[in-house]
Structure 1
Amino acid sequence: MGKLMKISVAVLFFIFLGAALLHYHTEQLYNTNLKSIYEYDINLEADSELENVTFYLPLPVYENESASGNELVNRYLQEENEWNLSLVDTENGKMLALRADRFVPKMRFPPVAISDTSEEITGVDSVESSQQGDEILGEELPETGSQVNSSENMHFAMPSEFRGELASDSEINTKFPLGNEPVLNPEYNLNLSTYDLPYSENKEPPTVYNYDSLIYADYETSPDAHVSLTVHFSGRNEWWIYGWNWNQYYEYIYADFSGPQQGWVPVKGKITMGDGNYR
């Protein structure tokens, strides 16, 4: 009986030792591979030219400072850009200012469909036949790019994107960011909402709040011009322990404008917290 007891104790000792070594190893992997990143992105779309443009946009702020905002501003100061970016104190708190004397949206066109009809054209006779066909029609055939303004070749405005990324020197509190991490300012009237996307039944769903915010827009344009703005901010942790894992919090604010603007515009936002895997 004493011998059996010794064997049992030895087995338990090695089990606990193995578990401790595995825990130590996974902790080492976690601390070595952990990356914590903030991302602050703005997307601007317009289908018409804008003049004398000023936007004040929600800014990620923590304790009245915005490291992500400063990073974005400094990045664009080093580039040739039609936009002037800066951080400003407004009556609604610290915000990101986007200014431009003139903004002309870049246009893109859908690819031209290639005809399914294939003809084998060889020799001078075929070329002459093609030329004769053009003469019968009484006009020259247009070049490929000559119909870009036709209804068959509608054009679309390319969005202007402002993207910033900032590494954090410590793990981001993605589960409880309110009061602990930067969030978009201003945020008013937070209301608990529901997480609409699928998630694992053995995990707690992310927490979602809807809220009110503000954007200042001032520009001249045609009465039928359409402008849309999307502001996105997120904090994310990524690490590798025999496979990649992550967790994050993120928020979006979307605004839609028609015609010229001058003043503060109420907009809606949403913040999602505790999305991903937690150890």
Structure 2
Amino acid sequence: MKSRTLGIVAVAVLLVVATIGGGLWAFGRLSFLNSYGSEYSYEVRVSANEPISNVTILAPLPVVDGDSPVADVIETREYLLPETWSYDVVETEYGPMLRLQADELPADPTYHRPVIENDRLVRWERVSADEYDQNDTDVVRVDHDAIELTADRTVNRSVETRAPEGTEPLFEPRSNVTAVPCAWPYEDDDVQCYSYDTQIFVSYDGPETTELSVTVELRGTNSWWVGGWNYNEYTDRVYVYDLPADQRGWVIVEGAAETGVGNYPRNLPQ
């Protein structure tokens, strides 16, 4: 009897475990499908170590099949953007690029007071520096020491993050593409890393001691929630730090790409 009873109990336990396991699997699968999303994120930052004027920068856009998926959703992070700054997309001999223009960079700080009507903010009113007091929260100081732009575009399919070449947007032009060792924290993972050469256009008036920095970054990401946020992505970066003033016009700069970052579950949504 005891053996039979133990057998029945064992079977019952296995059935309970199987039921719980199946429920957890189903819940996890549902959570995965409901939370799964894919997007491209694009960021540009331009700064200088001292004031410059008449600034024009042409920065690469991520392109696939001649088009950029983020070109029409670029926006500024600049709080209360100066009227003398502008940006647009232009065609160049190297394909579409983002053109940033500014009368001055860095510019002097500007000061603004909110205009409230019917308990709602309707606009910001610019005031003089004499009206600013750092202890007075009614007037805001804005430092314009860099141009920053960003763009985010969601897509209704999975992004190919392991092998984006040819199917996903990347920066152009790119030449001398070379596989390189991955730096921490990816040196022991299945991440693939590459370096390449590309070009940006730089024009400005300023001292010969000026050093300009331009960074451009693209991320193609898939993310989902199962017991916490998970993701995989590829990144493409173009960067030049402290570019000396004698390098203007079309300038060759470095690019770097990383593919296969993150984790890869089975049965990805299509």
TM-score normalised to structure 1 length = 0.69
The alpha carbon displacement at 1:169 in A equals 2.2
Partner of 1:112: none
Displaced runs of 4+ in structure 1, greater than 4 A?
Answer: 7-22, 73-76, 78-81
- 2: CA distance, partners of 1:191 / 1:12: 54
Counterpart for residue 58 of structure 1: 60
Structure 1 pair 199–232 and aligned structure 2 pair: CA distance change class (3 A): closer
- Residues 209-248 of structure 1 aligned to structure 2 (within 5 Å): 209-248=194-233
Out of 259, 263, 266, the residue aligned to residue 277 of structure 1 is 263
Q: Which runs of 5+ in 2 are unaligned?
A: 1-8, 110-142, 266-270
| Cross-structure match for 2:152 | 165
Name structure 1 gaps, 5 residues minimum: 1-6, 109-155
The aligned residue for residue 244 of structure 2 is 258
How many residues are treated as equivalent by the alignment?
A: 228
Note if contact 1:225-1:260 (Cα within 8 Å) is conserved in structure 2.
no
**Helix, strand or coil: the match of 2:164?**
coil
State the alpha-carbon separation in 1 of the partners of residues 180 and 165 from structure 2: 15
Provide the residue aligned with 1:188 in structure 2: 175
Q: What is aligned with 1:69?
A: 71
* AA in 1 matched with 2:96: K
Summarize the Cα distance change of 1:176–1:259 in structure 2 as closer, same or farther, 3 Å threshold: same
- Residue 10 of structure 1: CA displacement? 9.8
Shift in CA distance, 80/158, structure 1 to aligned 2, threshold 3 Å: closer
SS across alignment from 2:33: helix
Per-residue deviation, 1:269: 0.5
SS at match of 1:52: strand
Distance 2:76 2:67 in 1: 15
Provide the residue aligned with 1:120 in structure 2.
none
Distance in 1 (alpha carbons) for counterparts of 2:82 and 2:245: 28
Contact 2:76/2:149 (8 A) holds in 1: no
Secondary structure, counterpart of 1:69 in structure 2? coil
Distance 1:157 1:80 in 2: 8
**Which letter maps to 1:218?**
S
Query: What amino acid is the match of 1:236?
Result: T
Q: CA deviation at 1:257?
A: 2.1
Greater Cα radius of gyration, structure 1 or 2: 1
CA distance in 2, matches of 1:10, 1:177: 49
Q: TM-score, normalised by structure 2?
A: 0.71
The sequence identity of aligned pairs, in percent, is 30
Greater share of helix residues, 1 or 2? Answer: 1
**SS in structure 1 opposite 2:73?**
helix
User: Partner of 1:134 in structure 2?
Assistant: none
Is the contact made by 1:73 and 1:86 (CA closer than 8 Å) also made in structure 2?
no
**Conservation of the 8 A alpha-carbon contact between 2:77 and 2:149:** no
**39, 42, 65: which one pairs with 2:41?**
39
| CA positional deviation for 1:19 | 5.7
Q: Does the 8 A contact of 1:60 with 1:185 survive in 2? A: yes
**Which structure shows the bigger proportion of residues in strand conformation?**
2
**Aligned mate of 1:178, from 159, 165, 177:** 165
Q: Who is 2:192 aligned against? A: 207
CA distance in 2 between partners of 1:200 and 1:220 (Å): 42
Counterpart selection for 1:29 from 25, 28, 31: 31
Q: Does the alignment pair 1:82 with 2:106?
A: no
Report the CA distance shift for 1:263/1:200 in structure 2 as closer, same or farther (over 3 A). closer
Could you tell me which amino acid in structure 1 is paired with residue 263 of structure 2?
Answer: N
- Structure 1 pair 222–79 and aligned structure 2 pair: CA distance change class (3 A): closer
Aligned-partner SS, 1:28: helix
